[in-house]
Amino acid sequence: MPSTRATGKRGASRGAPLLRLRVGFVLIAIVLSFFGARLVQLQGMDPRSYAAMAAAEGSARLTLEAERGDILDRNGVPLADSIRGKMVIADPVLTAGKAPELARLLSDRLSIDYFKTLSALRGRKTGSRYEYVARRVPSTLAGDTLDALDEAGFEGISLEDDPIRDYPAGDVAANLIGYMGTDEPLGGFERTFDKQLAGVDGLATWQSTSGKGVRIPLRESTLKEPQDGTPLHTTIDRDLQWFTGKVLAQAVRQYRAESASAVVLDSRTGETLALVDVPTFDANDPTAPGVKKSDRGSRAMSDTYEPGSVEKVLTVASLIDAGKAFPRQKFKVPPSLARQDRVIGDWFDHGMIKLTLAGIIAKSSNIGTVLAADAFSPPQLVAYLQRFGLGQKTNVGVSGETQGILTPGDVMTSQTKDRVAFGQSLSVNVLQMAAAVNTIANAGVRVSPSLISGTAVTDEGLTVGTDTTTRTRVVSKEAARGTAKMMEKVVDPEDGVAPAAAVPGYLVAGKTGTAQRVEAECGCYDGSTTVSFGGFAPADDARFTVYVVVHAPGVDGGGGSIAGPVFSRIMGYVLGRYGVEPTNGTPSRLPVEW
């Protein structure tokens, strides 16, 4: 018996180690299976993302900003460029302890918000060692500020390159160029051509120690160089743009007007040498006190208005081209004209008068124009006006451009046609109407206007520029020449209504415009007017077309007395600037009355 118990104890002692060994093998197998599965996951299922995560743990990145392309005038003079600037950066690990004192010093010197600066110095997120304090700081100011911090014993502030967008001429062409925010374009060409101007940022990466950005020698690094933006060349003449703006601003003050616009075109090429809006703004300070949102865009392109009597020259040129009228044609013009439920009158009181077609233009008679336009059906008149470019965008590259309103001919009533014939019941934008008048200056060929030299593509994919210019025959050379001769009578001191638009020494062809203004909310006339003058010189060999529009003047007067003198000053300047000699041509001898 004792021997049997002894034998049993020895068997039990041999079994226990065996059991432990088996359990151990099972645990080892489980652990190896786990690591094996994890290895399969890392290497087989998503190796790139995990490798990137591992690399990122000890990597540093620095964006290398591309330099934004300049916006240039026709002579290569910068309208917008980039100058040296700095970004002020804080390391909250070093700045948090003295954040209040440091924030006050920085906010005072850099004119930035104290509380936002305080938040950055303390770290906007846990563990952050890189916080923006200020952007686009002039290099000199940033350097002086850093020196002051060093002298005061502050640590943790550093500088990085951060180019500043600069507009050397301030408000010159600001309505077209637009402006930049901190990181994005907020208007004008800056926004429309952002992809071309912005370029592509570069990137530098390297392996660093403890996430502090200190490069580890001999470890992997990469460098992708930035691609600077491409300059945008415009057709604008900076000096002419400046002069036109000063003359227009003076007129707005003198006549207490709400706003005004002016366009100067090269009559032969359609290039826009100046396109000005008043009021405007300084592109370097677009949010300055007193600057309205509407001041930061181009009213000349986005706002519509009824052109008034300037449109009459399009009507008569079309009639002559169609063989339905001629300059010496005689009309008996009554004091009023009853049409349907409306009575059409003239701007001046008169009895029955006898005017030629030239006289109707010289005196700007609504009644006479309607009588002449009776030779057209609504579709015929509309077809011509469409060929002049009315009711269609100019597509010169200005975002927000309106196409205006021109009722289709197949639905236009005869009553509407009467009003359209003398410039009401339709709407245009300023450049659109200037290009229409320029068609007469250019011997009846409409040359599409342009604002960009060469070719450029907007961010919306529209190709624009002088290389895309189109030419369309609208009326015959004879019809355009006959109309120009009639327009000469407008500035005639004896027969015309706008002698103040004359330019001494030059033959000038032009036309006045005065139209009632429509109130947007009610769709009714509000009692104010839009006055204008459009014309070209030299009248017998046109080089430039100028169109001036003044909205809601606060004094009595029409296109001849208000817009005419502005036209004269601008036209005289551009003729002199480009060295255009007088042609010494013979003034128009067309009769006004019969």
- DSSP character string of 194-215: HHHHH-B-EEEEEEEETTTTEE
Strand partners, 446: 472
Q: Are 373 and 418 in contact (CB under 8 A)?
A: yes
Q: Which amino acid, residue 102?
A: L
**DSSP per residue, 403-470:** --B---TTT--HHHHHHHHTT-S-BB-HHHHHHHHHHHHTTTEEE--BSBSS-EE-TTS-EESGGG--
Contacts of 503 (CB under 8 A, 6+ apart): 537, 568, 571, 572, 575
Burial of 449 (0-12, 13-18, 19+ CB in 10 A): buried
Q: Which residues contact 477 (CB under 8 A, 6 or more apart)?
A: 443, 444
Give the residues across from 132 on adjacent strands.
89
Q: Of 107, 309, 364, 532, which one is the catalytic site residue? A: 309
Q: At what angle do helices 564-577 and 238-254 cross, to 10 degrees?
A: 160
Tell me whether residue 33 is one of the annotated catalytic residues: no
Distance separating alpha carbons of residues 194 and 106, to the nearest angstrom: 32
- Cα torsion through 433, 438, 443, 444, rounded to 10: -20
Distance CA 350, CA 275 (A): 38
* Residues contacting 48, CB < 8 A, separation 6+: none
Which residues, 6 or more positions from 488, have their beta carbon under 8 angstroms from its beta carbon? 507, 508, 509, 539, 587, 588
Q: What is the DSSP letter of 45?
A: I
Beta carbons within 10 angstroms of residue 141's beta carbon: 16
* Helix/strand number for the chain, H first, E second: 19, 24
- Judge whether 231 and 69 are in contact, CB under 8 Å: yes
Nearest to 300 by CA among 392, 401, 203: 401
What Å distances lie between residue 245 and 166, 167, 252, 296, 334, CA to CA? 20, 16, 10, 15, 42
Q: What amino acid positions are annotated as catalytic residues?
A: 309
